[in-house]
A and B are shown apart, each in its own frame.
Chain A
Amino acid sequence: DVKVTQSSRYLVKRTGEKVFLECVQDMDHENMFWYRQDPGLGLRLIYFSYDVKMKEKGDIPEGYSVSREKKERFSLILESASTNQTSMYLCASSFLWGPETQYFGPGTRLLVL
């Protein structure tokens, strides 16, 4: 079974803090994704990566950056957290392109005070 793990299930941070969200997958997948999920808005793609050190902006990259130094790990960084970044953050990975191949992690619920 594919396993996608995220470093924290719940996180509380203060405005202006730098926040790191870590995602690790154990299936040697090429592609990794970061989404945020908000009530009434569904999932929105923040960034994705199709190879080590490669990254592409999604629909809402503003206020975020990412890092992919190793194939199995994809980090989402909030340089200076703001209250409007309070959300559920979901990581996914896939070997092939195609929505049917994406496996999601359990999510990190981030609260920015």
Chain B
Amino acid sequence: DAKTTQPPSMDCAEGRAANLPCNHSTISGNEYVYWYRQIHSQGPQYIIHGLKNNETNEMASLIITEDRKSSTLILPHATLRDTAVYYCIVTLRDDKIIFGKGTRLHILP
């Protein structure tokens, strides 16, 4: 049970911000939200994670709603190399990862 719901696919124009939503309405208080991505023919790559506060790193920003039932991954200036499947994962810090089906993001030139 992946505990998250994501749209199966999204398109975004190159240079624009890509906003990927994730619903996790059953998240518990000590579970984190993690995002990974998988570029074709490669293994998954960690992007970012958060608990309650919004987070930003060199790859992306993570916005978590106040009730923590949903979140959005933001790629501020999408490039063609960001075309990938993006996985939103909810889990405890020391628990295993359960990958769902993810969102296939297409960056359009």
Give A residues with C-beta under 8 Å from B. 4, 35, 37, 40-45, 48, 58-59, 90-92, 97-107
A-B contact pairs, 12 of them (CB 8 A): A41-B101, A42-B98, A42-B102, A92-B43, A92-B44, A99-B32, A100-B49, A102-B46, A102-B97, A104-B45, A106-B41, A107-B42
Centre residue among B43, B98, B100 by max chain A CB count within 10 A: B43
The docked-state distance in angstroms from the alpha carbon of A104 to that of B87 is 14
Q: Which of A43, A91, A92, A97 contacts B93 (CB 8 A)?
A: A97
Inter-subunit contact B43/A105 (CB<8 Å):
yes
Q: How far is the CB of A1 from chain B (nearest CB, A)?
A: 12
Query: In the complex, what residue of chain A is closest to B8 when comparing beta carbons?
Result: A40
Q: Is B96's CB within 8 Å of the partner chain A?
A: yes
B94 contact set on A, CB distance < 8 A: 97-98
Centre residue among B36, B46, B87, B89 by max chain A CB count within 10 A: B46
The docked-state distance in angstroms from the alpha carbon of A45 to that of B87 is 15
Inter-subunit contact A42/B43 (CB<8 Å):
no
Q: A42-B101, A99-B89 are known contacts. Are A58 and B96 too (CB-CB below 8 A)?
A: yes
Query: In the complex, what residue of chain A is closest to B44 when comparing beta carbons?
Result: A104
Q: Is B5's CB within 8 Å of the partner chain A?
A: no
B49 contact set on A, CB distance < 8 A: 99-100
Q: How far is the CB of A21 from chain B (nearest CB, A)?
A: 14
Q: Which of B41, B91, B100, B102 contacts A99 (CB 8 A)?
A: B91
Inter-subunit contact B96/A45 (CB<8 Å):
yes
Q: How far is the CB of A80 from chain B (nearest CB, A)?
A: 27
Query: In the complex, what residue of chain B is closest to A39 when comparing beta carbons?
Result: B101
Inter-subunit contact B87/A107 (CB<8 Å):
no
Q: A42-B87, A42-B99, A42-B101 are known contacts. Are A98 and B43 too (CB-CB below 8 A)?
A: no
Inter-subunit contact B41/A100 (CB<8 Å):
no
Q: A42-B2, A42-B102, A99-B49 are known contacts. Are A104 and B43 too (CB-CB below 8 A)?
A: yes
